[in-house]
Amino acid sequence: MKRLTLAVTITALPFTALADTPGDSTVAYQAPALVVTSGRQVEPKQTAVAATSVFTRADIERLQVRTVDELLTRVPGVSVSRNGGPGSLTGVFMRGTSSTQSLVLVDGQRISSASSGTASLEFLSIDQIERIEVVRGSRSSLYGSDAIGGVIQIFTRRGSDSPAQPYARLAAGTHKTYERTLGVSGGDAATRYNLGGTLNESRGIDNTGSDLGDNHDDDALRNRALSMNLSHQFNDDLEVGLSALDQRGKTEWDDIYYGTRPYDDFQLSTAAGYISNRFSDSWLSRLEAGHSEDKRDTKNDDALGTLYTYNTYHNSANWLNTVQLNERNQVLAGLDWYEDILHSSTDFNQTSRWNQAAYAQHRFQAERFSTELGMRHDDNQDFGSQNTWNGALSVPLNPDNLAIVSYSEGFRAPTFNDLYYPDFCYYGTCYPSANPDLQPEQSKTWEGQLRSSLSSTSQLQLSLYRTEITDAIVLDQDFIPQNLQKARINGFEAALAQEFGGWRSNLALGLIDPRDRETGHTLARRAKRTLTLDVDRQFDSFSAGATWRGVSGRYDDAENTAELGGYGLLGVRAGWQASRQLSFDLSLDNLLDKDYADATYGVWDPVNYQTIGRQGYNTEGRTVLLALNWAM
C-alpha cells in the first residue's frame, strides 16, 4: 500500500503538496530533480512541460546571494532593474514581458500590489527562503491572471526529520551593511517545523546623482523578517500544514523633484494553511486558504509627515484534486477564489474585487509520447469571463533526449490604478486618470524545447519561443490607460549544468527580440542578450567560486530615446568550513568596480519646473561581505 501511495504521489501531487509525500514531507523542496510549480503538482523537472529553473537552499548558500533579484539574474531570459541600492524599487522582466506580467507567489500566495501590479521582491529576506522555482512561459491556464511571462514561486524555510537544530548567521560588509539571522528547525517522521528571524541593515548608497535638496545623502535600509513553517502527517493519507512570513522595515529613497527626504515604511506578509487527504490510491485532494498583505506608507522627515498609503490585502482559497484514472491517464481539477482589497490615502473609485475560477488539466502517457491539455475559466468582478488554454506534446527521442512542443495562452487583469484611480483636478477642472472599461491583456505563446542529458554530469535545456501580446495597457496622449499596444517577442534560451574535474558550472543564456508591433520599438528595460556563468569547486574544507554576468544595452523608455549601456560584472566568493558547526563565507561582488545602471530617472530643473534629461540610478560598485555561520 505504501509503495503504491508513494508512486501515485510523485506523479499526482498538487502544487504545494510536496509535504504530502508519506514519510518525507521535504523531499521535493530539497531535490532539484523534482518541481512543483510547472504543473501544480510534484513531477520530475526533466519531464515537466514548462521550462523551469530551480534554486535550493544549498544553491543560495553556495552562491552566497543576498537578494532574490540577484538569484533571478541566473534564469535564462530574465532582466532585472533596480532604482538604486538595497531596498530600492526592483522590476523583473521575464521572457521580454513586463514586470507586472509574471506571477509571484510566496507559499502559494499572491504578493503583488493591487494598485501597481508589481511584487516587492526587494523586501524578501533570502535567509528565510528554502527554495525558488521559476517557470518560464505562460501558465494562466493553471494560475489565472498575471502568468504571461511565467511564475516565480518562493517557498519559505522548512524543517527536517531530525532533532532540533538551531542555526545562526552574522555578516558585515560594505556601506555599513550588517546581517543577523537566528532560527531553529527540526522534527521527526510525522512533524516538521522551522522558526527563523532576520535583521538586515545597510547605510546604502546615494541612489541618484542629483544634488537637489537632500538628494545627495545615502539611502538606508532596515529590514526585519520572521518566518514559521509547521506540518504534521497524521497517517499515510492525511496531513495539515501552516506557514507564515512577515517582512517589515524602512527604506529611504531620493525625491528627484523637490529634494526632500522621503522614505517608505513597508510590510510584506503571507500566511497559508492546507489540509491534504488521500481518499484512495488514485485520488488526492487538497484544500488551501491564505492571506497576504503588501503595505507601504510613504513619509517625509519633515512637517509633511505621511504622504501616501497603499495597502493591499489578498485573501484566497483553493481546492485541488488529482485523480489517476489509470496507468496512462491523469486528471487535475480545481476551484480557485481570491479577493483583492485596497486601503489607500488616495480615494480610489473602487477598493475591492473578487475572482473565482475553475480549471482542469488532462495528461496522457503513451509508450512513445505524452500529452497535456488544460483549460481555465475565470470569472472576475470587473471584466467578466476569461478562458485560457494550454496544450503540449512531449516526445522522447531516445533515453537521453526529450523534445517538447507547446501552445499556451495568458492574460493579465488591469490594476486598481488602471481602473479606479481618481480624476486629476487642477483649478476646478478635472481630467480622467483611469479607465474603468479596460479589458485584460492577452497573450499567445508557441514554444519548442529540447532537453538533453549529455552525460551523467551534464544537462542541457534549449527553448525557442514566440509570444504575441494584444490589448496591452499603455497611456494614450492624454495619459489615460488604454488597451492599445500589440507586442511580439521572439526568444531563445539555453541552460547548461555541468560537473567536470571537480568543478561545478551553470550557464544561463537568453536572447530575445521584444518589439512593439505598431512602432517597431524595442520594449523598455528588456535586455536583448543576457548571460550568467557560475563556477564553483569544493577543496576539502575550503570552497571557491566566481560569477560572470553580461547584460546587453537596452532602452529605458517606449520611444527608445533613453539608452542604457551594456555591462559585464565579475564576482568571486570563498568559504571555509572551520569545524562541523562553524563556517565562514567571503564574497566580493562587482570585483572590477564597473559603473553601470539598470534604470534611469528624469533630471528635474527646479527653476523652470521641467525635466531636462535622464540619468542612470547609481549602483553599489564593488562590495565585500564577510559572514560567520553556525549550525548544530
For residue 489, which of 472, 476, 473 has the smallest C-alpha distance? 472
Whole-number CA gyration radius for the chain: 24
Q: What is the pLDDT of residue 380?
A: 94
Tell me how far apart the terminal alpha carbons of the chain are, to the nearest angstrom: 36
Average pLDDT of the segment spanning 430-451: 94
Compute CA distances 458 → 46, 193, 314, 494, whole Å.
13, 35, 42, 13
Q: What is the pLDDT of residue 13?
A: 36
Residue 248 in this model has a pLDDT that exceeds 70: yes
Residue 20 in this model has a pLDDT that exceeds 50: no
pTM: 0.93
Residue 586 in this model has a pLDDT that exceeds 70: yes
Helix (H, G, I), strand (E, B) or coil at 319: strand
Residue 404 contacts residue 329 (beta carbons within 8 Å): no
Instruction: Look up residue 435 and give its amino acid.
Output: N
Check if CATH label 2.40.170.20 holds for domain 2-631.
Answer: yes
Among residues of the chain, what percentage have pLDDT more than 90? 83
Q: How far apart are CA 393 and CA 463, in angstroms?
A: 14
Which letter does DSSP use for residue 65 in this model?
-
Strand partners, 550: 531, 568
Instruction: Look up residue 493 and give its amino acid.
Output: E
Residue 495 contacts residue 460 (beta carbons within 8 Å): yes
Among 9-13, 141-145, 174-178, 587-591, the range scoring the smallest mean pLDDT is 9-13
One-character DSSP codes across 74-98: TSTTEEEEESSSTT--EEEEETT--
Q: What is the pLDDT of residue 15?
A: 35
Task: Please give the helix or strand (H or E) that residue 12 lies within, else none.
Answer: helix 2-12
pLDDT band for 32, please (50, 70, 90 cuts). Answer: low
Q: Is 590 left (phi over 0), alpha (psi -120 to 50) or beta?
A: left
Q: What is the mean pLDDT of the chain?
A: 91
Residue 147 in this model has a pLDDT that exceeds 60: yes
Residue 260 contacts residue 253 (beta carbons within 8 Å): no
One-character DSSP codes across 130-166: EEEEEEES--HHHH-TTTTSEEEEEEE----SSS-EE
Residue 9 in this model has a pLDDT that exceeds 50: no
Q: What is the pLDDT of residue 28?
A: 47
- Secondary structure of 350-404 in HEC code, one letter for each residue: CCEEEEEEEEEEEEEECCCCEEEEEEEEEEECCCEEEEEEEEEEEEEEECCEEEE
> How many residues in total does the chain contain?
632
One-character DSSP codes across 408-461: EEEEEPPPHHHHHPPPEEETTEEE----TT---EEEEEEEEEEEEEEETTEEEE
Q: What is the pLDDT of residue 307?
A: 84
Q: How far apart are CA 196 and CA 137, in angstroms?
A: 33
Residue 80 contacts residue 98 (beta carbons within 8 Å): no
Q: What is the pLDDT of residue 304?
A: 65
Which letter does DSSP use for residue 69 in this model?
H
Residue 630 in this model has a pLDDT that exceeds 80: yes
Q: How far apart are CA 249 and CA 261, in angstroms?
A: 17
Instruction: Return the C-alpha torsion angle 157, 533, 529, 449, nearest 10.
Output: -70
Opening angle at CA 611, ends 613 and 123, nearest 5: 85
Among 6-15, 84-93, 289-298, 568-577, the range scoring the smallest mean pLDDT is 6-15
- Residues sharing a CB contact under 8 Å with residue 612, sequence separation 6 or more, in sequence order: 603, 604, 605
Domain boundaries, given as residue ranges, for the chain: 2-631
Residue 10 in this model has a pLDDT that exceeds 70: no
Residue 519 in this model has a pLDDT that exceeds 60: yes
Q: What is the pLDDT of residue 474?
A: 93
Average pLDDT of the segment spanning 215-239: 94
For residue 173, which of 479, 586, 630, 540 has the smallest C-alpha distance? 586
